[in-house]
Amino acid sequence: GARGGRGKGLHFLRHVERTNVLMYVLDSFGEAEGRGPVRDLEVLVSEIEGYAGGALMGRTAMVTCNKLDLFETEEERAEAVGEVREAAVRLGLLPEGEEVWGMSAKEGLGMADVAMQVRRMVERERGRPLIKERDFL
Distance CA 63, CA 135 (A): 26
- What's the pTM value of the predicted model, to 2 decimals? 0.83
The pLDDT score that the predictor gives to residue 3 is: 54
Contact indicator for 86, 107 with CB cutoff of 8 Å: no
The larger pLDDT score, comparing residue 1 to residue 114, is at 114
Long-range contacts formed by 83-92: CB under 8 A, 24+ apart: 83/37, 83/38, 84/26, 84/28, 84/37, 84/38, 84/41, 87/38, 87/41, 87/42, 88/24, 88/41, 88/61, 88/63, 91/41, 91/42, 91/45, 92/45, 92/57
pLDDT beyond 90 at 126: no
